[in-house]
Amino acid sequence: MLVLGIETSCDETAVSIVKDGKFILSHIVSSSLKFHKKYGGVIPEIASRIQLEIIGLVLDNALRQAKVKLRDIHLISVTQGPGLKGSLLVGICLAKALSYSLGIPLVGVNHLYAHLYAAFLKPQKQNASILHPVVFPFIGLVISGGHTSLFYVKDFNAIKLLGETLDDACGEAFDKVAKILGFGYPGGPLIEKLAKKGNPRKVSFGSIRTRKPLDFSFSGIKTAVLYTVNKNKCFLKTRKSLTIADKKDIAAAFQETVFNTLIQKAYSACRMKQIDRLVIGGGVAANNRLREKFNQEKGHKDLKVYFAAKEFCTDNAAMVAGLGYILFKKGLRDNLDLTVRIN
């Protein structure tokens, strides 16, 4: 069964064609990042205008890469939310138009659940087949620019939220800290690069606490970084402005503190639910240090940690097509009333 997936929840415009939920025939992602860079974050109006202009082209490229025609497609799967309203509408309108004109079914999928499904896609270069057999239930951790959420996943149509961020998302904190340190957007890859050469013990940002054990909070550490930078505190003492070495140390300390929290909460969720499978997806999951730490600090040896392959951590349509296939097989259908679900 050929599924055409469409993803437009933020600044990316992505279309992918996936066979039987696992064989990736095409994987096209176009980002409007360069138009947002000077503002230090994604401007929704700019994102949706560009998506409207290029989505036809992205669709053509995906069909060409997969060497298929529109009439070969059996199902349309589209991100319904959460995300930016205008951007989501661009994808949903295309999905509905294709479904109606081709006379094929349509399913809307949740973007966060698709980030978890991404861990079950194999990179295109390695002969595609499912990376890990899906064994339910598992604990799912989504760490992206807009969300930080822990889920109990009984099946892809039975997912329960266990905890989420009370303020900034994890990726958002990386983006803001990069900005505070005088770097561009997106901040995640930049902080990762800086942190690699920094000493995380030169400065301390304390630990991150929340009232409910499985919730997250990242605005406090972001503010602590801001104070450290503004007041030239701690190890910086008398210096007027930060050196690049200072910035590397701050980035390393920030990154370690955030990752310690993610590890502690994710493993707590596994213990609480007595599950030894943890699936991790979303843009921040592309970070090498995070992957290394999760594998080093497992707590108990039976725990298995599954990361999405790097190319499927950030937003893409293969994960949307894959999840759409699974949900369709379970009987889910949407009709032309399908609309945006922001939350």
Q: Catalog residues that contact ligand KG4 under the rule CB under 6 A.
A: 10, 144-146, 171-172, 174-175, 186-189, 192, 282-284, 286-287, 314-315
Q: What minimum distance in Å lies between the beta carbon of 214 and Zn ion?
A: 20
Of ligand KG4, Zn ion, none, which one does residue 259 interact with (CB within 5 to 8 Å by kind)?
none
Which C-beta is closer to Zn ion: that of 215 or that of 315?
315
Cα separations in angstroms, 285 against 61, 77, 216, 328? 27, 24, 16, 27
Q: What minimum distance in Å lies between the beta carbon of 286 and ligand KG4?
A: 4
Which C-beta is closer to Zn ion: that of 144 or that of 148?
144
Of Zn ion, ligand KG4, none, which one does residue 334 interact with (CB within 5 to 8 Å by kind)?
none
Q: What minimum distance in Å lies between the beta carbon of 77 and ligand KG4?
A: 17
CA distance 252 to 196: 7
Which C-beta is closer to Zn ion: that of 164 or that of 204?
164
Which among 217, 88, 201, 110 is positioned nearest to 163, based on CA atoms? 217
Which among 59, 269, 53 is positioned nearest to 151, based on CA atoms? 269
Q: What minimum distance in Å lies between the beta carbon of 213 and Zn ion?
A: 25
Of Zn ion, ligand KG4, none, which one does residue 286 interact with (CB within 5 to 8 Å by kind)?
ligand KG4
Of Zn ion, ligand KG4, none, which one does residue 192 interact with (CB within 5 to 8 Å by kind)?
ligand KG4
Q: What minimum distance in Å lies between the beta carbon of 12 and Zn ion?
A: 8
CA distance 306 to 141: 10
**Token couple for 196:** 């690699």
Which C-beta is closer to Zn ion: that of 315 or that of 334?
315
Q: What minimum distance in Å lies between the beta carbon of 105 and Zn ion?
A: 24
Q: What minimum distance in Å lies between the beta carbon of 337 and ligand KG4?
A: 25
Residue type at 83? G
Three-state DSSP state, 207: coil
Which C-beta is closer to ligand KG4: that of 21 or that of 145?
145
Of ligand KG4, Zn ion, none, which one does residue 324 interact with (CB within 5 to 8 Å by kind)?
none
Which among 125, 105, 46 is positioned nearest to 335, based on CA atoms? 105
Three-state DSSP state, 95: helix
CA distance 181 to 121: 35
Indicate the helix (H) or strand (E) that contains 160.
strand 158-164
Of Zn ion, ligand KG4, none, which one does residue 81 interact with (CB within 5 to 8 Å by kind)?
none
Of Zn ion, ligand KG4, none, which one does residue 140 interact with (CB within 5 to 8 Å by kind)?
none
Contacts 24+ apart (CB under 8 A), 325-329: 325/1, 325/3, 325/18, 325/20, 325/21, 325/75, 325/77, 326/21, 326/117, 326/156, 327/77, 327/107, 327/109, 327/156, 327/157, 328/3, 328/75, 328/77, 328/105, 328/107, 329/21
Q: What minimum distance in Å lies between the beta carbon of 191 and Zn ion?
A: 18
Which C-beta is closer to ligand KG4: that of 192 or that of 334?
192
Q: What is the CA radius of gyration of the chain?
A: 20
Q: How many residues does the chain have?
A: 343
Of Zn ion, ligand KG4, none, which one does residue 8 interact with (CB within 5 to 8 Å by kind)?
none
Number of neighbouring beta carbons within 10 Å of residue 213: 13
Q: What minimum distance in Å lies between the beta carbon of 144 and Zn ion?
A: 4
159 bridge partner residues: 153
Residue numbers at the binding site for Zn ion (CB under 5 A) = 144, 315
Of Zn ion, ligand KG4, none, which one does residue 174 interact with (CB within 5 to 8 Å by kind)?
ligand KG4
Which C-beta is closer to ligand KG4: that of 236 or that of 319?
319
